[in-house]
Structure 1
Amino acid sequence: MSLKPVPTELSEPQGILPMQSLAALVDQGAVLSTSALDDNQIQPASIDLRLGDRAWRVRASYLPRSRTVADRLRDVQMHEMDLTRGAVFESGCVYIAELKESLNLPAGISARANPKSSTGRVDVFVRLLTDYGVAFDDVAEGYSGPLYIEIAPQTFSVLARSGTRLNQLRVKRGVSPKLYTTDCGVDLTGDLVGFRARRHAGIIDLDHIDGHDPKKFWEPLYQAGGELLLDPGEFYILASKTDVEIPAMEAAEMLPIDPGVGEFRVHYAGFFDPGFGTAEAAGTGSKGVLEVRCHETPFLLEDGQTVARLVYEPLTARPDKLYGQLGSNYQRQGLKLSKHFKVW
Structure 2
Amino acid sequence: MSEANRPGILPCQSIESLIAQGAIVSESPFDPDQVQPASLDLRLGARVWRVRASFLPGRHTVRERIAEVAMHELDLTRGAVLERGCVYIAELQERLALPPGISARANPKSSTGRVDVFVRLLTDAGAAFDDVAEGYVGPAFIEIAPQTFSVLVRTGTRLNQLRLKAGVPERLRIESVGVDLTGEVAGFRGRRHAGVVDLDHVDGHDPRDFWEPLVPRNGQLLLDPGEFYILASKQPVEIPVLEAAEMTPIDPSVGEFRVHYAGFFDPGFGTDEAHGKGSKGVLEVRSHETPFILEDGQTVARLVYEPLTERPTRLYGDLGSHYQRQGLKLSKHFKVWSE
Q: Same fold (TM over 0.5)?
A: yes
**Post-superposition shift, 1:289?**
0.2
Distance 2:78 2:262 in 1: 27
Alignment RMSD, CA only? 1.0
2:4 and 2:166 in contact (8 A); partners too: no
* One-letter identity of the residue aligned with 1:62: F
Quote the Cα distance in structure 1 between the aligned partners of 2:213 and 2:175. Answer: 28
Q: SS state of the match for residue 118, structure 1?
A: helix
- Change in CA separation of 1:155 and 1:339 when aligned onto 2, cut-off 3 Å: same
Report the alpha carbon displacement of residue 326 of structure 1 after superposing the two structures with TM.
1.4
Which residue in the other structure is 1:132 paired with? 125
Do residues 95 (structure 1) and 88 (structure 2) align? yes
Q: How many residues align?
A: 337
Equivalent residues in 2 for 1:113-262 (5 A)?
A: 113-262=106-255
Q: For 1:55-82, what per-residue CA distance to the aligned partner results, in whole angstroms no more than 9, with x for missing partners?
A: 0000000000100000011111000000
In the alignment, structure 1 segments of 5+ residues that lack a partner are 1-7
Question: Matches of residues 56-95 of structure 1 in structure 2 within 5 Å?
Answer: 56-95=49-88
1:263-302 to structure 2, matched below 5 A, reads 263-302=256-295
CA deviation profile, 1:305-331 (whole Å, cap 9, x unmatched): 000000000000111110021101100
Deviation at residue 269 of structure 1 after TM alignment: 4.3
Secondary structure of 1:260's partner?
helix
Q: SS where residue 129 of structure 1 aligns?
A: strand
Consecutive unaligned residues in structure 2, runs of 5 or more: none
Aligned residue for 1:95, secondary structure, equals strand
Equivalent pairs: percent with the same residue? 74
Deviating more after overlay: 57-66 vs 259-268? 259-268
Q: Which moved more, 1:160-169 or 1:220-229?
A: 220-229
- Judge which range, 267-276 or 63-72, deviates more: 267-276
Q: Distance in 2 between matches of 1:313 and 1:262?
A: 27
Return 247-256 or 320-329, whichever deviates more. 320-329
CA distance in 2, matches of 1:94, 1:111: 24
Amino acid at match of 1:136: F
Q: Deviations over 1:108-137 (max 9, x none)?
A: 000000000000000000000000001000
- Map Cα deviations across residues 267-295 of structure 1 (whole Å, 9 max, x no partner): 41410000000000000110000000111
Q: Separation in 2 of the partners of 1:183 and 1:260? A: 15
> Is the partner of 1:73 in helix, strand or coil?
helix
Say if 2:120 and 2:143, in contact at 8 Å, map to a contact too: yes
